[in-house]
Amino acid sequence: MAIVAPSFLSANFLNLEADCRMINESEADWFHLDIMDGRFVPNISFGPMIVEFIRKTTTKVCDVHLMILEPEKYVEDFKKAGADMLTVHEECCVHLHRNIQQIKSLGMQCGVALNPHTPVESLKEVLDDLDMVLIMSVNPGFGGQKFIPNTLNKIRTLRRMITERGIATKIEIDGGVTLDNAAAIMKAGADVLVAGNTVFKSRDPKDTIAQLKKITR
């Protein structure tokens, strides 16, 4: 069964409390919180302060996705803000193994994200150390983009790598996830579906989440 992580990038920031309450009352498993710095990606979202406010509204997993350069400078801030899972981009980390160890030393689970052009094989030396790999199925920076079809091949390749090693690393897919393609994404081998517009722009977000939640591999 899918782990569903609604992306708050698509939430109503004039009424975040209501959206937090709705996600709490829904079947969603995680809160997916996208952090953008305007440098690594062409957009700026929010920082630790907003994560801290959101953390106070929920006991569900706060899945924080750092789309920022030099993430090591902010890891402790996001730990203090309440992140349970902290994901950094492979493309941002000169010393990726060191970044992973820093995150895990603070008691958080660690994920590494890959942009569409980055092969999953780039993680073969650190895969055993990861709790999750986030495969970007759009180019990062903005919500509402269309799913890149080749992502399915990347998921299959990564799933084979994980199975061959006998490890429990999760595969998370972020970008363009809809009710129409979610089953194919899960069948390819994904564990976690990040859904922004699909959830928050829906006429009935709770029902949409429930439909995503029923999808299995």
Q: Give per-residue pLDDT as tens, 113-161.
A: 999 999 999 999 999 999 999 999 999 877 778 999 999 999 999 999 9
Compare 106 and 142 and report the one with higher pLDDT.
106
More confident call, 143 vs 85: 85
Spot the catalytic one: 29, 37, 131, 174.
174
CA–CA gap between residue 69 and residue 147 (Å, rounded): 24
Q: What is the mean pLDDT of residues 19-26?
A: 98
3-state secondary structure 79-144: HHHCCCEEEEEHHHCCCHHHHHHHHHHCCCEEEEEECCCCCHHHHCCCHHHCCEEEEECCCCCCCC
Note the pLDDT of residue 97.
98
pLDDT tens, 27-62? 999 999 999 999 999 999 999 999 999 999 999 999
pLDDT at 141: 75
Residue 142 assigned to a binding site:
yes
Q: Is 143 annotated as a binding residue?
A: yes
Asked if the model's pLDDT at residue 19 lies above 90, the reply is yes
pLDDT at 75: 98
Q: Is the pLDDT of residue 198 over 80?
A: yes
**Confidence band of 70 (pLDDT split at 50, 70, 90):** very high
Q: Flag whether pLDDT at 101 surpasses 90.
A: yes
Is 34 assigned a ligand-binding role in the annotation? Answer: yes
Q: Is 176 annotated as a binding residue?
A: yes
Helix (H, G, I), strand (E, B) or coil at 217: coil
Q: Which of 34, 37, 131, 191 is catalytic?
A: 34
Is 174 tagged catalytic?
yes
Per-residue pLDDT at 159: 98
pLDDT band for 213, please (50, 70, 90 cuts): very high
82: pLDDT strictly greater than 90: yes
List of domains in the chain: 3-213 (3.20.20.70)
| 131 is known to lie in a ligand binding site | no
Residue 66 structure tokens: 């750092």
Task: Taking residues 188-200, report their average pLDDT.
Answer: 97
pLDDT band at 217 (very low <50, low <70, confident <90, very high): confident
> Binding site annotation covers 26?
no
94 Cβ contact list (under 8 Å, min separation 6): none
Residue-level pLDDT at 72: 98
